Structure 1
Amino acid sequence: MRGTAVLLAVLLTAGCSGAPPDGTDGDLTDGWRPPPSPAPFRPAVGRCHETLAATASLADYRPVDCAELHVSETYHVGTAADAAVVPAAGSAGARAAFRECSDRAADFLGGSWRTARVAVQVVWPTRAAWSGGARWFRCDVTTADLDGRSRTSRTGSLAGELGRDSPLELGCFNPTVEGETVTTMRPVACDRPHRAEFAGLWRAPEITYAALESGTERSAAACRSVIARFAGLPDDSEMQYRTGWISYNPTRTEWLSGERRVRCFVYFAQRTFTRSLKGAGPAVLPVV
């Protein structure tokens, strides 16, 4: 019994004070990476969506491959300034986000989105996600009518679309006019008979949206100057006798976001052309 007890004591001592097994250092934690800190959901760039929304939550985040049918495409995700609540429409934070989205859209598309049948939208986190620490805003692009309201589905990414000949670029149109209201603008190739053509943009002053909508004289003068530069005409009082004009203002939402560029079109009620009027000059567009 004594010999057995001595042997047991030796074995216990060896088990408690002996060297660690070969290939180990005896420290069970020093080789482990600490778990990452929890972070709020942040959407991905380069994904497309079946709808165009003003807010997005993780529960509703179901992006699709851009080769599939979709309505909008995320081309940039920015970081908003910290604030207690999601920036409201027209606030400094909302305008800053739209300005960043607009600038990044030109890089993504390869040209100015305001010169194409394209619209830009800022998508914000939900209020619950914002309260949980989300501070992102998503920049989405979509095809749209000139009034910025009708969105259409498409397949394929819009990356670089305006850096090459694109059917989305504003060109020639056949408008439908009821009284003094343009109800439709149907795109048509400029070598086909048409009565209107995109001439360029003018930047409206910092006025109310109601003043912009009612300021016909301001729009007429600004668009005539744009048309004069586009068509190679003298920018004088006789411009009103050479061509008509159509203008498309930013939407109310775009205006609140800080967008001030107004689209201008050469327009003729009766006369048609089968060529572009860019640089046409007084011989083609005389005083009548």
Structure 2
Amino acid sequence: MRLAVLAVVAALTLTACGDDTTAPAEMAAPDLGACRVLSPEDVAQPANSSPSVPCSESHTAETYAVGELPSDFDDVDYGDEQLGAWAYQKCTGSFRDFLGADESLVMRTVVSWAWFRPTQEAWDDGARWYRCDVVGGGEQSKEYVDLPTSARGLLLGRPKDAWMVCADGETVAGSVKVPCNQPHTWRAVTTISLGAAKDEYPGDRLAEVTTRDYCSRSVGAWLNYPVDYDFGYTWFHEAEWQAGNRRSVCWAKTTQ
């Protein structure tokens, strides 16, 4: 989700020369359930044509949602911000359902999602599909971990530490994010909702203070109210709010 939020709000400045030779495969929506070996560099691109691999083999991505874009996007530019906001809502909801998690849990998992659209050439020729992939890593990942044969239901029940996000460093902000089954000094333990879908952004100061105060209490309870404890928090700004994110993440300083 962290990678996804930032990817949605980033403005795309892309140019390409359209032609009349777009391959038929690029015009049609990809296959649902296909697995691929993707890297962070692949996910940073708006389109992806990596070949699929058998899901029984090593892979870092699985397609969990595909379809045609609404007709509202028939005439929009390739990098239209409203397109990104729509994809955020669509892929986020499907992501939760696919993993078997609620909104809080998907903010605390090491896996994330990425979405792709047709190439610029195919877009210019009228292709209007989307593809949502679950990937084995997040925004700060230098490489992705392998996913199971299928990630469906990955977070049902009590998820394994291999799929939960922790951080290793002096502070949360400056730490490398790692799966919680690796050595770490911080664990993402709770989240706080700062507003409903239609609410206006409360402003940077109020968002941060509300997050800080809640996380202080929440982490203390998670640690069973020790005399002294350290906590951290990750909160987002107006751009992420406009993209659809309403939650901040609370971190406990712990090696457990």
TM-score by length of 2: 0.67
Q: How large is the Cα RMSD of the aligned pairs?
A: 3.8
Partner of 2:47: 56
Q: Structure 1 counterpart of 2:248, which letter?
A: V
The amino acid of 1:262's aligned partner reads S
Give the distance between the partners of 1:208 and 1:90, measured in 2 at CA.
Answer: 21
**Distance in 2 (alpha carbons) for counterparts of 1:175 and 1:200:** 18
| 2-structure distance, mates of 1:219, 1:76 | 32
Measure how far apart 1:266 and its partner are: 1.6
Q: How does 1:119-134 map to 2 (within 5 A)?
A: 119-134=112-127
For residue 74 of structure 1, what is the aligned residue in structure 2? 63
Which amino acid counterpart does residue 30 of structure 2 have in structure 1? P
Aligned length: 217
- Amino acid corresponding to residue 244 of structure 1 in structure 2: D
User: Is structure 2 residue 196 aligned with structure 1 residue 196?
Assistant: no
Supply the distance in 1 between the matched residues of 2:63 and 2:183 (Cα, whole angstroms).
37
1:183 equivalent in alignment to 2:169: no
Distance 1:250 1:143 in 2: 22
Contact 2:216 2:231 in 1 (8 A): yes
Counterpart residue type for residue 155 of structure 2: L
Change (3 A) 1:217 1:64: same
Q: 1:254 to 1:44 in 2, by over 3 A?
A: farther
| Amino acid of the structure 2 residue aligned with 1:42 | A
Instruction: Percent identity, please.
Output: 23
Q: 1:46 aligns with which of 33, 51, 55?
A: 33
Q: Distance in 2 between matches of 1:259 and 1:193?
A: 29
Of 133, 136, 143 in structure 2, the residue corresponding to residue 140 of structure 1 is: 133
Q: How does 1:1-288 map to 2 (within 5 A)?
A: 40-51=27-38, 52-53=42-43, 54-56=45-47, 60-82=49-71, 83=73, 84-86=75-77, 88=79, 90-91=81-82, 93-112=83-102, 113-145=106-138, 147-155=139-147, 156-164=149-157, 165-170=159-164, 173=166, 175-177=168-170, 181-185=173-177, 187-188=179-180, 195-204=185-194, 206-207=200-201, 211=204, 216-228=208-220, 230-231=222-223, 242-249=228-235, 257-267=243-253
Tell me: higher relative CO, structure 1 or 2? Use CA pairs within 8 A at least 6 residues apart.
Answer: 2
TM-score (norm 1): 0.60
